[in-house]
Structure 1
Amino acid sequence: MDAPESRQTCESASGKAYRCVQVSAKALVAFLAKSRPTTCTATGTSYGRIVGFCVRADGTDVNTWMVRNGHAINWAKYSGGRYASEQAEAQATRSGMWARQFQAPCVVGGARCD
């Protein structure tokens, strides 16, 4: 998955620009607080960042939750499409970043998304 970049903006359902990284980060903090600790497993690096997956103490996959709720996108290059159905669900329900318009975080970060 790929979450919003620090300088990234998105559009709300009403068309107002907002810093989507702040909304995503706050939602993640609240989600993680419901079941601690969270365990993360690194699977590699990309663009100087750690790539991996995280699971809450109750067994909930954090990456899946982030994509399903529109706080991150499925970056198939690294996920192999693992979160494609969750992304389709977020798009269909216009959740999070899918409420209106945004650039994919990988584009904002200066990477190729394919």
Structure 2
Amino acid sequence: MDGLLTILFLGLVWLAANRLAGEGETVTGQPRVVDGDTLALGRDRIRLIGIDAPEGAQTCERDGETWACGQEARRHLARLIGTTAVLCEGRADDRYGRRLAVCAAGGEDLNARMVADGFAVAFGDYAAEEAEARANRAGLWAGTFDRPQDWRARHGGMAELPHIDGDWIKALLRRIETVWISR
């Protein structure tokens, strides 16, 4: 039992170290919009943390019609950015090597705006913005759609877990350490 707990503890420490390695780094510039939640800025791929937008090939339904919601999410993010430089504050890297970040254009939080406008869903954060979009029947919420993670699962895409704030991981590690020491 002690060996199993030690392995679990070391695994959590390793996970936390990997997830928190780039916390607080900022990147600025004019990005290329890859999709509704991913930017390319120079050689960096940046995944907007806490949100999940439809995949490029994903379609949704609205008023009985199919629409290319994945492509529309990408276009919406591109419109929000326009020709303004973005400032992205990196929180960590995901397992695919993308920087998880909160990005702003013209001082506006793009992550929050994508969810509030209904072109992305909450994915570990931005629940209030999702509730607002749902209440306003904005974007995706004007019809029916599969949550992007469900769509990816059915279409062989990358599996992701909701983005976890590094502070939550730190608190968990402190709790595990407290329990471990008290033994």
TM-score clears 0.5: yes
What displacement does 1:113 show?
6.0
RMSD, matched Cα:
1.8
Is contact 2:56–2:74 with CA below 8 Å preserved after alignment? no
Q: Secondary structure at the match of 1:97?
A: helix
2:54 aligns with 4
1:94 aligns with 137
Q: Secondary structure at the match of 1:17?
A: strand
Asked if 1:52 corresponds to 2:114, the answer is no
Whole-Å Cα distance in 2 between the matches of residues 15 and 103 of structure 1?
A: 15
What displacement does 1:44 show?
2.6
Structure ranking higher in strand proportion: 2
Normalised by the size of structure 2, how large is the TM-score?
A: 0.53
Which of 88, 95, 98 is the matching residue for 1:40? 88
Normalised by the size of structure 1, how large is the TM-score?
A: 0.82
* CA gap 1:99/1:67 in 2 versus in 1, 3 angstroms: same
The structure number with the bigger radius of gyration is: 2
Q: Which has the higher contact order (CA 8 A, sep 6+)?
A: 1
Structure ranking higher in helix proportion: 2
**Count of residues in Structure 1 that have an aligned counterpart in Structure 2:** 106
Unaligned runs of 5+ in 2: 1-50, 154-158, 163-183
* CA gap 1:96/1:46 in 2 versus in 1, 3 angstroms: same
